[in-house]
Structure 1
């Protein structure tokens, strides 16, 4: 049996309270189907030996036979600890202990730490030495002292990093064997994350999520090794552009983690930073809008095939467009196969089939065929969107418990409120969980396991990624099966966003000039969100203005006369030049780009969005929309002629995204397209756009 099955046997033999499949799934952070398969494996052994089997009753309750303890020696082969780790897991954990040791380490120490016999370690030693040699290190044996490692400190750190790296994926949620059994990291993770995040902002070096987690892992290994007195060997000089980034990061880590860092640490870390992936926030090209438009088409196709409308999920659109952008980057990311993805998709084969069926939408952009794991990651994004939609329809009362302070709990709270119709009744520290009254809420969402909690709970990461969406959805499904929860939809009539949306048009109609109304609304939002215990503005609102913010009446013209597509592009950009949003060369760049690459700016029937790169003259984020008196062809037969031309001045690949999302959704709606066509003036068109966004947000 595997480690999890063995632990299940031990828990069944000791636990007196009711145990459920969903409870085990949550404890081990795997799917309920995986737990059922583990129980099936246990029952197979019991059945083969003519013993009573473990029963799974209604509601997923697990009922071991009364004489279950008599079967322990059979199931655990007489020694639980010998079978707690597989041979491969023992090799990894033992190797980490040897490499991480600052002195000799004995076989007896390894055996005691891993709860195995000394003979077991001796039998594993050949494999352990071979495994360590793969990391350019050698194991030296001394008859009276034990084992020690011979090799460069940088290789030791690389070895430990590679052992822990598989646990970095956002979808890999079960415990890493090495991390569980060997302490190779030090320093407060939340402090190091904060330091790294601040330096990202300072140096405008924006890391992708996997690189951010990898750097945190390396830094915690570095802190551990330096605190042990194991410093890097002399490093070669470097002219890395990340040298100052590395220097300032390590300066603050030295201060806040109470550790000495050296010049060699800075040199090594700067080269480490050279090798990770960045999301350059100034990155913007013709491909950016193409990928986002294809994402929009792909979501529409998936929605139609599955019969679930996911078109209004902005987070799905943003996450998937970013994901597709990373897939088609050069070089492409090497996505790792992880168990939890397969577990999620085992229960969602219809989603995986739909994802494969709709791949033709993506392949119209690229000739590169995606491999199986890349397609599976897309399917997980779809599964998460389905969970978000399903769970927005349920008004559970939840308590949020967090172990890492008010900042982390506030971040988690905001993400929950964005994606679920939860009624968050309280936010507490994890240690307060034992004081929760049984009827205080329907369940608890926590960043750590809770001891002595009277309510059922689900453990999530503070970052609340797609795997967490699915995990919370699985917990809700389990709760629905076990208990009859009231829907309580009537409680959701009043919210911060709903109140702001109702007040917004009234304020702008009664207060003039517009700048005064904006100032008033900003302060009013702060008061309302403070009352509802929300942040004044969430990140999306700050960084991503809505379409009606970018297209007020002053940025719209109707019945513009144009000779051809070049004239239309030029006239769509002239007002942005006048107002200082773009330089005049930006217009020339748009025209040249269309001549060179074709009419990629045509987004849908009758609509084009010309744009150029940031470095070709973009100054500020803005849009200018013109409706042509006489539509002109842009060279896309099935979408010509073009009636609407909207010049986009982008300053990065993200800040315009919410506006773009609203725009392409509007273009899918025949009624609103017709209203834009019939509008008599810019003010009417601006009102149509704002009304659309309020009715669909």
Structure 2
């Protein structure tokens, strides 16, 4: 089969829940319907070799699979095709020949390529004419000796450039669905997989709090994939690693994880590659707490207009933080929002709000968000709204994998990060239906990495590494399964009171029950608050708490909050100056909840020790944008060795209850203030 025919049958398998038509496929590939019908004939010839009945075409042009069409078996045979069954296009053939010539250390003949690819020698001769010019564009020379064959003459640096460009051209990814991609990987004897290197680099990004702009992260991983698999690894070892930047340390980290010694020559080539392609300017080191505050500021701006209490959803904040920090699925995947659902979420308005306020994230990240990035944020917010609706029971799902529980558990962890499902279990594909029948449990739908044939349960097929298209499918199914009520998010106790008012007909009795519930909850919280301490207790020292009775500007308050830390030598004056610059540049994102602010900057601006201080203002501090005053202004600094996100969350929590910050500021002694803010 040809490339297009292979892609079409893969589409038929992937879109098992809907019927494809000749018309839409012809439009997608920009070919005539007659040509498309010939492709279906080619597909049917392939299916007959399995053997299996072919794809039929109705009078309406719909593609219908036969009853004996087994997706798993068809996929298996697709993966086992060779170059005799799969006819490479001219472009694929030339890419393949260029790759083999680039890694070969001996002469190769045109006849060898002709026999391997099942084409005539004259076809290969024509391919070589075009290949010569392409190699020349890189500064490489294809030597042709009538007696020996062909040999590519180029430096190691040019070799890396050629292979990186070629792999980028075939769109190698974490999971390769195409025959040609799998053929390349098999033929090139890959020792270190792209997915492993990709995962290691994601870990490195998270540890170093690095954010890459556009597709630079993908380009760097691709470069490292080529270097570690195809280039020489002998030479001088690197001696001075301290002077290397964060982006340069990436090759060292990847080498360490792959148990490869990175040489000085490899490092110099990597630096030259970064410089040549101007990749240094596309990476930014982001402080996690600063980004978290900016995300809160962004979400707050949206929630001011839709009133869903989004700031109370820490899972939304955490998922957006992870999404941005790891650049997860912010590539070229087409994100589609449901357009046929008449629930309470107005997608157009929500998209408009995200567009309107995206500048808050953009000015901090230093790059423009693409349309797909913005749509993915809308997805996160929609999921948060669904997760927190009133009276909605959690959906029950089963996760299915081919057989490896490690894959299933990793998928489970990803799903938990985005959705609040009741996950009934992770099962292997060959036992899922039997287990469900035996246990007789209620399952709303199945999330699987492989095809499952069942009419009893809806099945969503996803990638092991969730992509935006997967999140979109899961979200769409969630919309269909849950009955939506158009009411804002409310605290749990309020939900309970509303349910009592709805169920109990006697108003007097209903009110009495609600009063008793409120009393019981308040008594419990009062009793336990003395026992349970939050993350601030171990970080904040009483000697670093200042109480101010005078009025002051926000800048004066910022300087004042940092004084105890400066006197102890924990931070330098430039640290708080940078914090003030951030407010001037990014706005009042420093105000993290009602009456509570947090001054913070990157560790690179004079931080010598982890520390936290608090300025309590009796009169309140007026910032630039917020109408409400700040009564508790914290100053926090970290050298970056520990994760202090829980500190930020504890500080935010102080302002969650209306009037709480002002109430704390009215306390008479430092001991009382300390006790009040360190109790959860």
TM-score interval (norm. to shorter): 0.5 to 0.7
- The SS at the match of 2:138 is coil
The DSSP-based 3-state class of the residue aligned with 2:334 is helix
Name the CA shift for 1:106/1:591 in 2 (closer, same or farther; >3 Å).
closer
Q: 1:165–1:660: structure 2 CA closer, same or farther, 3 Å change rule?
A: farther
- Quote the Cα distance in structure 2 between the aligned partners of 1:469 and 1:445: 11
Equivalent in 611, 617, 626 of residue 628 of structure 1: 617
Equivalence for 1:341: 334
Aligned counterpart for 1:583 among listed residues 541, 551, 570: 570
Corresponding residue for 2:64? 63
Q: Does 1:21 align with 2:30?
A: no
d(CA) in 2 for partners of 1:365 and 1:385?
Answer: 15
1:379 is aligned, of 366, 375, 387, to: 375
Deviations 1:150-170 (A, max 9, x none): 212332222112222467898
Given that 2:570 and 2:607 are in contact with CA atoms closer than 8 Å, whether structure 1 keeps it comes out as: yes
Q: CA contact under 8 A between 2:233 and 2:262: conserved in structure 1?
A: no
Matches within 5 A, 1:65-84: none
Q: Deviation string for 1:394-432 (max 9, x for gaps)?
A: 5223135377774x654443333333333434445xxx5
* Distance in 1 between residues matched to 2:626 and 2:382, nearest whole Å: 32
Correspondence 1:436 to 2:432: yes
The 1-side partners of 2:151 and 2:239 are apart by 31
Render the CA deviation track for 1:635-674: whole Å, top value 9, x for unaligned. x376475433222234449944455467568758756667
- Partners of 2:367 and 2:529 lie apart in 1 by 56
Render the CA deviation track for 1:214-248: whole Å, top value 9, x for unaligned.
5654454345436xxxx379899997745998678
C-alpha distance in structure 2 between counterparts of 1:236 and 1:621, whole Å = 35
Q: How far does the alpha carbon of each residue in 1:147-194 deviate from its partner, in whole angstroms, 9 at most, with x for none?
A: 432212332222112222467898x86647763331336224399649
Q: Does 1:414 align with 2:400?
A: no
Q: What residue in structure 2 maps to residue 529 of structure 1? A: none
Q: Which one of 165, 183, 190 corresponds to residue 186 of structure 1?
A: 190
Aligned length in residues: 584
1:325, 1:300 → 2: CA distance? Answer: 20
Q: Give 1:562's match in structure 2, choosing from 529, 534, 550.
A: 550
The correspondence of residues 490-569 of structure 1 with structure 2, limited to 5 A, is 560-565=548-553, 568-569=557-558
Segment of structure 1 superposing worse, 351-360 or 46-55 = 46-55
Q: Give the alignment's TM-score, normalised by structure 2.
A: 0.62
TM-superposed deviation, 1:629: 1.8
Deviation at 1:120, TM superposition (A): 4.9
Does the 8 Å contact 1:98/1:149 carry over to 2?
yes
Q: Relative to structure 1, is the Cα distance of residues 469 and 508 closer, same or farther in structure 2, using a 3 angstrom cutoff?
A: farther
Structure 1: stretches of 5+ with no match in the other structure:
13-18, 25-31, 69-79, 328-334, 482-501, 519-545
Any idea what SS the aligned residue of 1:421 has? coil
Q: Which residue of 2 aligns with 1:395?
A: 395
CA distance in 1, matches of 2:371, 2:571: 42
Give the superposed CA RMSD.
6.3
CA distance in 2, matches of 1:653, 1:236: 27
Q: Check whether the contact 1:206–1:278 (CA below 8 A) recurs between aligned residues.
A: no
Matched, 1:649 2:637: yes
The residue number in structure 2 matching 1:295 is 295
Contact 2:562–2:576, Cα closer than 8 Å, also in 1: no
Cα 1:589–1:132 change in 2 (3 A) is closer
Cα 1:589–1:315 shift into 2, 3 Å: same
- The structure-2 alpha-carbon separation of the partners of 1:369 and 1:654, relative to structure 1 and needing over 3 Å to count, comes to closer
**What secondary structure is seen at the aligned counterpart in 2 of 1:648?**
strand
* SS of structure 2 residue aligned to 1:131: helix
- Inter-CA distance 563–464: structure 2 relative to 1 (3 Å threshold): same
User: Structure 1 stretch 271-280 or stretch 409-418: which is displaced more?
Assistant: 271-280
User: Could you say if the C-alpha distance between residues 506 and 144 of structure 1 is closer, same or farther in structure 2, counting changes exceeding 3 Å?
Assistant: farther
Higher helix share: 1
Note closer, same or farther for the CA distance 1:261–1:572 as it changes in structure 2 (3 Å cut).
Answer: closer
Moved more, 453-462 or 435-444: 453-462
Give the unaligned 5+ runs of structure 2.
Answer: 41-55, 70-82, 484-519
2:154 to 130, 151, 155: 151
Distance 1:598 1:293 in 2: 15
SS of 1:182 mapped into structure 2: helix
Question: Is the contact made by 2:565 and 2:571 (CA closer than 8 Å) also made in structure 1?
Answer: no
Indicate if the aligned counterparts of 2:603 and 2:640 stay in contact, CA closer than 8 A.
yes
Q: Is the 8 A contact 2:190 2:229 kept in 1?
A: yes
**1:490 matched to which residue of 2?**
none
Contact 2:570–2:610 (8 Å) recurs in 1: no
8 Å Cα contact 1:153-1:233 kept in structure 2: no
Q: Secondary structure at the match of 1:103?
A: coil
Cα deviation 1:296-335 (Å, max 9, x = unaligned): 34334445677876544546535656877999xxxxxxx9
SS in structure 1 at match of 2:599: coil
Question: Within 2, Cα distance between the matches of 1:34 and 1:562?
Answer: 74
- Structure 1 pair 556–465 and aligned structure 2 pair: CA distance change class (3 A): farther
CA drift of 1:111 comes to 5.2
Check whether the contact 2:284–2:365 (CA below 8 A) recurs between aligned residues.
Answer: no
Structure-2 residue corresponding to 1:73? none
Does the CA contact (< 8 Å) of 1:136 and 1:155 recur in 2? Answer: yes
Cα pair 1:398 1:445 within 8 Å, conserved: yes
Report if aligned partners of 1:412, 1:463 keep a CA contact under 8 Å in 2: yes
1:129 aligns with 2:147: no
Distance change (3 Å), C-alpha of 1:306 and 1:641: closer
1:404-483 alignment to 2 at 5 Å? 406=406, 410-427=409-426, 432-440=428-436, 442=443, 445=447, 449=450, 460=462, 463-464=465-466, 466=468, 468-473=470-475
Instruction: Between 660-669 and 625-634, report the one with greater CA deviation.
Output: 660-669
Secondary structure in structure 2 of the residue aligned to 1:434: coil
- Distance in 2 of aligned mates of 1:219 and 1:351: 40
- Displacement of 1:347: 9.6
State the shift of 1:628 in Å.
Answer: 1.9
Q: TM-score, normalised by structure 1?
A: 0.61
Q: Which residue of 1 aligns with 2:95?
A: 92
Deviations 1:562-606 (A, max 9, x none): 35246644553456679x7x63745x8526864997595674585
